Structures are given as structure tokens and as C-alpha cells.
């Protein structure tokens, strides 16, 4: 696919669509929009645009499609697989100027937002109405980025991922057409589900300019516990036991002993450096919450937990979740100057103990120092590794370990990515995971974006012509 490099005529045409302060080809802006938050190398775009409306996005895409200029949407740039890196140069569309909460319809548990609002800012506003949007990734992502990556987090076990909590989208297609997908009804059997097709497509099929999200009431009560285990396998088996019992926790997260060491470097009140299972139930019935926690305790003890501390108060519980939330950032901070890889794979729950145990072994066999932070209740493993990618020995070990772990997860009936998306880094596993389905995906891409301008070089394994490498 040959792309056109932006020339002066293109810049003038773009300047007639957005006001001059919302377009930049300045070096620092190009660098700020060249890479996400991991090891993937940077690619310079040729211009950054901050659109202010759906109509502006439509006009930009119409022009870009006619001129065959790549367009990469950009939220907060917190992706972990190179999802927002503009590998073929062209235009980056940054949604910072489209970050309004358009309407809160508390009576229907819904909110209409623009894509640039961050979920933390949005949830702070919604809390005044006693409501929240449950998917909560560990970084302060935008709603547009969460929709595009189908992000999830510690509450997904109870409330689902982003895809389960979006009702309706306004999206702009590659040729500038504006579509509305989904409806405000809580359910629908009407036609092909275009909203769900766009969600998780990483900006490769359409650009989202507005979304109606499903909200939940903030639960009043909770019961929480911290259990420790002598191995990550036992902790994972306890997770399976809790779910198999039919309990419905609001969070079930594993951090292994090595992860706790990083966490303790930043905590005033250190936690035991043991593999730890964080358990929480939420609801409004105190007796029911206590009963559920009691059952979880039985399951943990049957699986050999070394300690089970319940009766965690509100302040401590908030601190624990804050710690869990910030673990990714803490791991990155702990390795200044090094590249960080947060591996992401997910399997059916019954196979989660096998995945987590084997993944740690594989990393050890390749001489990699790793630690586990897992959304265990979703069968979703993160194995965190840091090192210098320009060191050929490290790069070789990491690549082999990564390939073995993801291939193992897929062989268990799982997926190459539970929540971070395919981006650049996971494209090589697409054929393995989707087989014949890949041709259908290619057909969808060809139909919606025949010139391949939308976020080229992502999701599908095909190579694209790269024009914007950082020297």
C-alpha cells in the first residue's frame, strides 16, 4: 500500500478544516505522538491534528482518503502493544479537544461522551450522581482508546469489559461517512452489531467521535480480604475454586511475591512479600457480603493459603486497590532507562493455573526476571519483564519466551491478548488464533477502508510501507 506524504497543499487543506492552533507539524508535538508506553520503537507522524467535532473528523478523513494519507487516532497514548504508534507517518488525530461529557441520563444509567474524556475524569463527575463506568484499566486512558482496545480491568470479572458497557457509537468511516451504530435500548436484535465490530478494532475500521455508555450504581457495601499462598499455582487454583463455587466477586487479582517486592519499594506500610490474592465482594446486603467472604475463605484454605486476612477497612481497601491499579506504573518506574513488556494473554478459567505456572517457568528457563500481576478472575495473565531491547541476547530470550507463552495460551483455547489489543506486537499470532477467520477480517477491512489509511500496520499481519521512523 503506497501512501502519500503530506505536502504543502495538504497542510493548507487541513488548515481550512481545523483552526491553526489545532494543527501542528512541530517537532515536539510529532515526538509526543510517536510512541506508546512500552518497548515499541517510535514512528514520527507528519502532522498532529486536534479535531473539535464529528464534522471536522469527517472532513479530515475524506481528504486523507482521497490523498491516501495514513490517519492514526490517539487517546492518551497509554497502549502497551504499539496500538497508537503512527507506523506509516501521516496524520495523528488527537482527541484531547473532544473530551466533553455531553449528557448524563441517570434515570437510564447512561452517559453520552466524546472520545477524549478520560475514564477517571468521567467517573469523578458521575460519582455525584451515584454512578460509575466499571471498566478501569491501570492507566488514565480515554474512553476512545478504551473502546478501540476493548480495555478492561479489575472490575471486569463482575461488570464485563468495555465492549459489554457500550450501547451506541457515532463513528466516522475512512471515506468520511458518519454512522451511528447501536441504540440507547439496553438490548437489541437489530441487524449486524456494528458497534461491537468497531469496539476492539484499534482505530483500523472507523474513528469513534461519540459514545453512549452503560453505567452502574456505586455499591454501598463491600467485603474484602487478602490471602497469601506459597505458589502462584495455588493462588490460581483458589481463584478457580471461588468462581466454580458460584460466588460473584467484584475483583480477584493475583500479585506474586516478586511483584510485591516492587510494590513495597513505594509503600509506607509494606505488605508481606508473598504471592497475594486480593478478593472483594460488593453489594448492599452486609450479611450476604460476609457470607460470600466466608465461603471464599473456605476455598482459599482448601487450596492451602498461608494466611487469610479479612475485615479490611475502607481506607485500607482503597489503598490496596490503588496499589494494584498503580502496579503497572510502579513496574515501569522501577526500571528507568529499560524497556518494559507487560505480556497479556487469557485462557478459560479452568486452565488459568496451567497458564500462570507455565508462563513463569518459561520466563525462568529463558533467564528473564519476571513478575505476575493477573486479573485472575478473568483468566487474564500479565507477566511483566524489563530489559534492554537493543541487547541482542535479551531481545532473543524475550522474543522466544513471549512466543512460547502466547502459543501455549492459544493452545489452551485462550487468546493472545485479554485486554491490551493486537497493535504491532501481537500481529504475528493472529493467524494462529483466528485461522480461516483472518480472511473474513481482511474482507471487512478492505470493505470499510479500501485504501488502508486507518491506523495502518496494526491488527492485521500485513506489512505496510513505513515512512516515519525516528532516526
Among 70, 90, 203, 414, binds ligand FAD (CB under 6 A): 203
Cβ(121)–Cβ(308) under 8 Å?
A: no
Among 279, 455, 456, 468, binds ligand FAD (CB under 6 A): 455
Q: By CB under 6 A, tell whether 373 contacts ligand FAD.
A: no
- Sequence-ordered list of residues with C-beta below 8 angstroms from that of 149, at least 6 positions apart, any chain: 79, 83, 162, 200, 202, 419, 420, 421
Minimum distance from residue 91 beta carbon to ligand FAD (Å): 12
Q: Which is nearer to ligand FAD, 96 or 310 (CB)?
A: 96
- What is the maximum span of the chain, computed from C-alpha positions, in angstroms? 70
In three-state secondary structure terms, 21 is helix
Residue 190: its H or E element: none
Minimum distance from residue 284 beta carbon to ligand FAD (Å): 26
Minimum distance from residue 243 beta carbon to ligand FAD (Å): 19
| Selection from 130, 303, 296 nearest residue 216 by Cα | 130
Q: Which is nearer to ligand FAD, 211 or 224 (CB)?
A: 211
Q: CB under 6 A: which stretch of 15-23, 105-113, 200-208, 350-358 binds ligand FAD?
A: 200-208
Q: How many residues bind ligand FAD (CB under 6 A)?
A: 37
Minimum distance from residue 156 beta carbon to ligand FAD (Å): 8
Per-residue burial over 100-127, b = 16 or more CB atoms within 10 Å of its CB, e = otherwise: eeeebeeeebbbbbbbbbbbebbbeebe
Q: Which of residues 249-288 bind ligand FAD (CB under 6 A)?
A: none
Q: By CB under 6 A, tell whether 95 contacts ligand FAD.
A: yes
Q: Which is nearer to ligand FAD, 182 or 203 (CB)?
A: 203
Bin 465: left if φ > 0, else alpha if -120 < ψ < 50, else beta. Answer: beta
Q: Which of residues 29-68 bind ligand FAD (CB under 6 A)?
A: 36-37
Pairing of strands 131-132, 71-74: unpaired
Minimum distance from residue 196 beta carbon to ligand FAD (Å): 14
Among 24, 79, 123, 165, binds ligand FAD (CB under 6 A): 79
Q: Which is nearer to ligand FAD, 280 or 419 (CB)?
A: 419
- Sequence-ordered list of residues with C-beta below 8 angstroms from that of 399, at least 6 positions apart, any chain: none
In three-state secondary structure terms, 18 is coil
Among 47, 80, 235, 385, binds ligand FAD (CB under 6 A): 80
Q: By CB under 6 A, tell whether 85 contacts ligand FAD.
A: no
Q: Which is nearer to ligand FAD, 51 or 353 (CB)?
A: 51
Among 141, 224, 239, 359, binds ligand FAD (CB under 6 A): 141
Q: Which of residues 339-358 bind ligand FAD (CB under 6 A)?
A: none
User: In this structure, what DSSP letter does residue 143 have?
Assistant: H
Phi, psi of 234, rounded to the nearest 5 degrees: -65, -40
Cβ(448)–Cβ(174) under 8 Å?
A: yes
User: In this structure, what DSSP letter does residue 271 have?
Assistant: P
Q: By CB under 6 A, tell whether 92 contacts ligand FAD.
A: no
Q: By CB under 6 A, tell whether 24 contacts ligand FAD.
A: no
Cβ(234)–Cβ(88) under 8 Å?
A: no
Among 42, 45, 89, 153, binds ligand FAD (CB under 6 A): 153
Cβ(274)–Cβ(260) under 8 Å?
A: yes
Q: By CB under 6 A, tell whether 146 contacts ligand FAD.
A: yes
Q: Which is nearer to ligand FAD, 290 or 389 (CB)?
A: 389
Q: Quote the distance between the C-alpha of residue 17 and its chain's center.
A: 31
Cell numbers for 389, please give them.
531491547
Q: Which of residues 318-337 bind ligand FAD (CB under 6 A)?
A: 328-329
Among 34, 152, 303, 323, binds ligand FAD (CB under 6 A): 152
Q: By CB under 6 A, tell whether 99 contacts ligand FAD.
A: no
| Selection from 82, 93, 78, 75 nearest residue 22 by Cα | 93
Strand partners, 93: 49, 73
Q: Which residue is nearest to ligand FAD (CB)?
A: 145
Minimum distance from residue 278 beta carbon to ligand FAD (Å): 14
Cα–Cα dist 365/232, whole Å: 17
Q: Which is nearer to ligand FAD, 51 or 387 (CB)?
A: 51
Cell numbers for 216, please give them.
452502574
Judged by the rule CB under 6 A, the positions of this chain that interact with ligand FAD are 36-37, 72-80, 83-84, 95, 115, 137-139, 141-142, 144-146, 148-149, 151-153, 202-203, 207-208, 328-329, 419-420, 455
Amino acid at each position: 500500500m503506497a501512501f502519500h506524504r503530506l505536502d504543502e497543499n495538504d497542510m493548507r487543506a487541513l488548515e481550512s478544516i481545523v483552526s491553526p492552533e489545532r494543527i501542528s507539524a512541530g517537532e515536539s508535538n510529532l515526538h509526543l505522538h510517536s510512541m506508546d508506553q512500552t518497548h515499541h520503537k517510535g514512528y514520527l507522524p507528519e502532522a498532529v491534528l486536534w479535531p473539535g467535532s464529528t464534522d471536522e473528523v469527517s472532513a479530515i478523513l475524506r481528504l486523507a482518503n482521497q490523498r491516501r494519507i495514513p490517519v492514526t487516532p490517539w487517546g492518551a497514548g497509554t497502549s502497551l502493544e504499539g496500538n497508537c504508534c503512527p507506523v506509516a507517518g501521516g496524520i495523528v488525530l488527537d482527541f484531547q479537544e473532544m473530551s466533553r461529557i455531553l449528557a448524563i441520563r441517570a434515570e437510564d444509567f447512561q452517559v453520552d461522551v466524546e472520545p477524549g474524556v478520560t475514564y477517571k475524569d468521567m467517573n469523578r463527575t458521575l460519582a455525584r450522581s451515584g454512578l460509575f463506568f466499571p471498566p478501569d484499566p491501570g492507566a488514565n486512558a480515554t474512553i476512545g482508546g478504551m473502546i478501540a482496545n476493548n480495555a478492561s480491568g479489575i472490575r471486569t470479572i463482575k461488570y464485563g469489559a468495555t465492549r459489554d458497557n457500550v450501547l451506541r457509537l457515532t463513528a466516522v468511516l475512512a471515506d468520511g461517512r458518519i454512522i451511528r451504530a447501536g441504540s440507547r435500548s439496553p438490548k437489541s436484535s437489530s441487524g449486524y452489531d456494528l458497534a461491537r465490530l468497531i469496539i476492539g478494532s484499534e482505530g483500523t475500521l472507523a474513528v469513534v467521535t461519540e459514545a453512549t455508555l452503560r453505567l452502574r450504581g456505586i455499591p454501598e457495601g463491600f467485603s474484602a480480604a487478602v490471602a497469601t499462598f506459597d505458589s502462584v499455582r495455588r493462588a490460581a487454583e483458589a481463584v478457580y475454586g471461588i468462581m466454580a463455587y458460584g460466588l460473584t466477586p467484584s475483583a480477584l487479582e493475583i500479585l506474586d511475591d516478586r511483584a510485591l517486592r516492587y510494590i513495597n519499594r513505594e509503600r509506607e506500610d509494606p505488605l508481606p512479600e508473598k504471592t497475594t490474592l486480593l478478593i472483594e465482594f460488593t453489594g448492599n446486603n452486609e450479611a450476604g457480603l460476609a457470607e460470600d467472604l466466608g465461603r471464599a475463605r473456605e476455598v482459599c484454605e482448601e487450596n492451602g493459603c498461608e494466611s487469610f486476612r479479612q475485615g479490611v477497612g475502607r481506607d485500607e481497601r482503597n489503598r490496596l486497590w490503588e496499589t494494584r491499579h498503580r502496579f503497572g506504573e510502579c513496574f515501569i518506574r522501577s526500571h528507568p532507562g529499560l524497556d518494559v513488556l507487560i505480556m497479556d494473554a487469557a485462557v478459560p478459567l479452568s486452565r488459568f493455573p496451567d497458564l500462570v505456572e507455565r508462563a513463569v517457568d518459561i520466563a525462568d528457563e529463558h533467564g528473564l526476571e519476571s513478575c505476575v500481576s493477573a486479573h485472575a478472575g478473568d483468566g487474564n495473565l500479565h507477566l511483566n519483564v524489563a530489559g534492554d531491547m537493543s541487547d541482542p541476547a535479551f531481545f532473543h530470550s524475550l522474543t522466544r519466551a513471549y512466543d512460547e507463552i502466547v502459543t501455549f495460551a492459544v493452545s489452551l483455547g485462550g487468546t493472545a491478548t485479554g485486554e491490551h489489543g493486537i497493535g504491532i506486537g501481537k500481529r504475528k499470532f493472529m493467524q494462529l488464533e483466528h485461522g480461516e477467520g483472518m480472511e473474513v477480517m481482511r474482507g471487512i477491512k478492505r470493505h470499510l477502508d479500501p485504501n488502508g489509511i486507518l491506523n495502518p500496520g496494526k491488527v492485521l499481519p500485513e506489512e505496510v510501507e513505513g515512512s516515519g521512523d525516528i532516526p
